[in-house]
Amino acid sequence: MIKEFEPITRGIRSLLKIWEPKLSGLSDAVITTRRNSQNRTIKQIVGHMIDSASNNTHRIVHLQYQKSPLRFPNYASQGNNDRWIAIQNYQDENWEIMIGLWKYSNLHIVHVIENADPSKLDNLWFYSEEKLISLKDGIIDYLRHFKLHLDEIDELIRKE
Whole-angstrom distance, CA of residue 113 vs CA of residue 137: 12
- Structural domain boundaries, residue 85: 3-158
**Amino acid of residue 156:** L
Whole-angstrom distance, CA of residue 13 vs CA of residue 107: 7
CATH number of the domain to which 148 belongs: 1.20.120.450
What digits encode the pLDDT tens for the residues 72-114? 888 877 678 899 999 999 999 999 999 999 999 999 999 999 9
Domain count of the fold of the chain: 1
What digits encode the pLDDT tens for the residues 110-144? 999 999 999 999 999 999 889 999 999 999 999 99
Maximum C-alpha span of the chain: 50
